Amino acid sequence: MKKSCFIISLLLLTLSLQALVIPFSETPILQENNMLTNFVRIAPDDKKTEENPTKVWLWQQSNQLMVHFSCPIDSQFVVGPIAVRDEAKNSDYIRVQLVTLPDAYFAYCYDGYPNGNLSDGIRKEDMNLDLNWNSKYSYKTNYDDKTWEITLQIPLGELRFKPDPPYNWYIILSRYKYKTIEYYSSPYVNTNQRKDYFTAGYNIQLNQNITRELNLEFKPYFVKSYDLIDKTSSFDPDMIGLDVAYHPNPTTKIKLSMNPDFSEVPPDDAQDIYNSKYPPYYDENRFFFIEDLDAFSISSDYFYSRNIVKPQLAYKVTGSSGKTRWGILGAWDKKIVTDGELINPDDYFQLISLIPTFGNFTMGNAFIARTNTGYYNCIYNGNYEYRLTQDLSLNCFIAGSLRKNENEVDVSLKKGYQGQFGINYYPGNWDNSLHFGKISKDIFADTGYLYDKDRQYYSFSSSWLSKPFNGFLQTISDLVMIDVYDLHPDDDKKTEYSICGLITLQFQPKFSYSFQPGYFNIYDNLNQKHKIFNVYNIFNFRFRRNSSGYLNWKTGETLVYALNKTSQFNSITFIFSDTPQKSLNYRLQGTLISYDYPKENIIDIGGIPATLYLDNQYALFNTQLKYTPLQRIRFTVGGSITTYETQSSYSNLNYYVNLRYEFKPDYFIYLGLNNTLLQDEVITFDEPLGNFNKTGSTAYIKISLSI
């Protein structure tokens, strides 16, 4: 046994020093010279090897990379439910990650599941997975009581890589065991390695020429909708659209979209937006904008794609050349006028990005613009990072803006800037950062979500993760954050600060608890100072094999901006999800909120008292049920309700029903119904549901093809 372990270790050392040459064959090759094994546990991160080793063989077959896994299993093996693409969960799975351009800091990810679910995406530089990229990969899977065999077939012609063989890439192999919540990797790689992650895998070499696919794809669509309230149907040029995708070479992707359609995108979840200092922020959920957006290396402060309300024409080009990544995005928004009032202007949005890397120095450059007749807002966004050592890096952020609008009262040119310098030190299980920055009051980002201006700031954070323990307590992690803001530093300076902490205890088998206190010194809209605090108590747990829960009890004191006063508050948020059978899944989320201020408040507006009505006890619920009898058919029912009362309504209700049918690969039919209702009468004994009036009701059918 010791001799075998020594031989395997020697083999792995040899592979780490030289590339594993992938054999070319039209039939499977399952030999030692193309086999990889030695999976070690990375979650919990104790580097423990598998008791029964998983074995993997690689070979090239025509234009495909073949990856065959042989996984020993036992009674804890979980097959999991059926799911449509990129929604698989609650099961064991294996993963293959290919790094074809190490200097570009991304990896292609391919997952394999016991029941044949498909899930693929791209691991980005920030280590997050972007599931909006889809491959044409496939696999065969079968299992018995002792072994799970799975063979992936990965098409290579659709990837980005340097054009001439030999192709020197990296590969990372992973296996997840759902019931015991264990994640194994071969070789050992960890997302804490940051950019080194993308060169920490096995070095593999493919010598056979890879033929590029034409990669020209047309996706026309047609949408027909019917307003169930006005009894009117709609058909106009906006109901027909076309997506064109073209990959002219291994490193470039071009996409053109005419009338991008988002009819099947579900409504946003209900959120607590009633004591918010700024307009509500909603994550982007439209495929055209979220795909490849990381190629532009820009934050939502300066580019928030939901500012593009209804694009009529949009295009996007992304690529890389050597150690330089680049991207171009443009969109013409649609002018929307309701009852003679301009709701949305027909602005043009432009985003250009250039990100070269010179050794350990990465220089991210982005140029953003929003323009129209008599109006422009142009921005430069720069992100620079220099790695001094493996554990130490310096980073710098600068931004500058020009804005002029001849349609406003003030037609002068506005000039603004932001600058930030930071240092990150992350030895071992520690991650420490220190930042200093300043942002002027005349900076504008009409393309983004930028509201905190005219301040200088300092921030420090330090986090630590323990090594895994043997026992009921598995790991301990903690985090400390200190932020200081000098408001109006060039005028009447006022200082805000916040001190927050977080400690998380991960218990076995499936339970964790987090304690997060915070103390804040902030100013209200009248420049009055307030000291507030809050405490989060967060529980995560699993009930059974396919059930999970989340509970967050938050209490403390908060600033109510509408009243410019503080208030005691309590809130409870819960999330429960379950898969009672392999084709059925549901999720329920709710938040109950209570403040101690009265509903009717007298406020001062320019010396004149006025009554302000604010609800002080309300709830938000979001729910969704998915029925997936086959991987190409999904039926979804969902809804949300907000019980926040105003003087004209008692609650808002939204619900939707969708059917998604993939009648052949990449050929879809969508059927849907969306309804919004407003409760205008309170619940009584005679009317236990109150009275709801429909404010919107639309049915639609969409056909989308890939040619």
pLDDT of residue 522 exceeding 70, the answer is yes
| H helical segments located in 355-476 | none
pLDDT grade for 34, boundaries at 50, 70 and 90: very high
Q: Is the pTM higher than 0.75? A: yes
Beta carbons within 8 Å of 308's beta carbon, 6+ residues apart: 289, 314, 331, 333, 349
> What's the confidence (pLDDT) of residue 433?
97
> What's the confidence (pLDDT) of residue 104?
81
pLDDT grade for 520, boundaries at 50, 70 and 90: very high
pLDDT of residue 207 exceeding 50, the answer is yes
pLDDT of residue 232 exceeding 80, the answer is no
pLDDT grade for 237, boundaries at 50, 70 and 90: low
pLDDT of residue 13 exceeding 60, the answer is no
Lowest pLDDT segment from 313-327, 469-483, 565-579, 612-626: 313-327
Mean pLDDT of 357-366: 91
The torsion defined by the Cα of 227, 232, 237 and 242, in degrees rounded to 10, comes to 40
By CB neighbour count within 10 A (0-12 exposed, 13-18 middle, 19+ buried), where does 284 fall? middle
Residue 18 in tokens? 């030289």
pLDDT of residue 397 exceeding 90, the answer is yes
- The share of the chain scoring above pLDDT 90, in percent, equals 55
Lowest pLDDT segment from 172-181, 211-220, 397-406, 562-571: 211-220
Residue type, 311: P
Secondary structure (3-state) at 651: strand
Pair type for strands 202-206 and 20-21: parallel
DSSP state of 24: B
pLDDT of residue 17 exceeding 80, the answer is no
> What's the confidence (pLDDT) of residue 545?
66
> What's the confidence (pLDDT) of residue 354?
93
| Residue 350 host element (H or E) | strand 348-358
pLDDT grade for 11, boundaries at 50, 70 and 90: very low
Q: Domains of the chain, with CATH numbers?
A: 2-206 (2.60.40.1190), 279-450 (no CATH)
Q: Is the dihedral of CA 66, 67, 73, 78 positive or negative?
A: negative
**CA–CA separation, 161 and 170 (whole Å):** 12
**CA–CA separation, 368 and 378 (whole Å):** 6
pLDDT of residue 293 exceeding 60, the answer is no
pLDDT grade for 12, boundaries at 50, 70 and 90: very low
Report residue 560 CA to chain centroid gap: 30
Mean pLDDT of 138-165: 93
DSSP state of 643: -
pLDDT in tens, 692-707: 888 888 888 888 777 7
> What's the confidence (pLDDT) of residue 610?
87
Pair type for strands 324-333 and 348-358: antiparallel
Beta bridge partners of 315: 256, 330
pLDDT in tens, 657-686: 999 898 887 788 888 888 999 888 777 666
Mean pLDDT of 235-262: 74
**CA–CA separation, 674 and 265 (whole Å):** 11
pLDDT in tens, 62-74: 999 999 999 999 9
**CA–CA separation, 328 and 254 (whole Å):** 9
**CA–CA separation, 122 and 108 (whole Å):** 5
> What's the confidence (pLDDT) of residue 245?
82
pLDDT of residue 128 exceeding 90, the answer is no
pLDDT of residue 213 exceeding 60, the answer is yes
DSSP state of 11: H
> What's the confidence (pLDDT) of residue 5?
45
Does residue 102 have a cis peptide bond before it, meaning omega lies within 30 degrees of 0? no
Secondary structure (3-state) at 16: helix
Q: How many CB atoms lie within 10 A of CB 681?
A: 13
> What's the confidence (pLDDT) of residue 627?
94
Q: Round the average pLDDT of the chain to a whole number and report it.
A: 88
Lowest pLDDT segment from 174-178, 263-267, 597-601: 263-267
- The share of the chain scoring above pLDDT 70, in percent, equals 92
pLDDT in tens, 445-497: 999 999 899 999 999 999 999 988 888 898 999 999 999 999 998 888 899 99
Does residue 44 have a cis peptide bond before it, meaning omega lies within 30 degrees of 0? yes
Residue 684 in tokens? 């009584």
> What's the confidence (pLDDT) of residue 542?
83
pLDDT in tens, 369-396: 999 999 999 999 999 999 999 899 999 9
pLDDT of residue 437 exceeding 60, the answer is yes
**CA–CA separation, 596 and 601 (whole Å):** 12
> What's the confidence (pLDDT) of residue 231?
65
pLDDT of residue 145 exceeding 50, the answer is yes
- Whether 483 and 451 have beta carbons less than 8 Å apart is answered as no
pLDDT of residue 549 exceeding 60, the answer is yes
Mean pLDDT of 600-608: 84
**CA–CA separation, 552 and 537 (whole Å):** 5
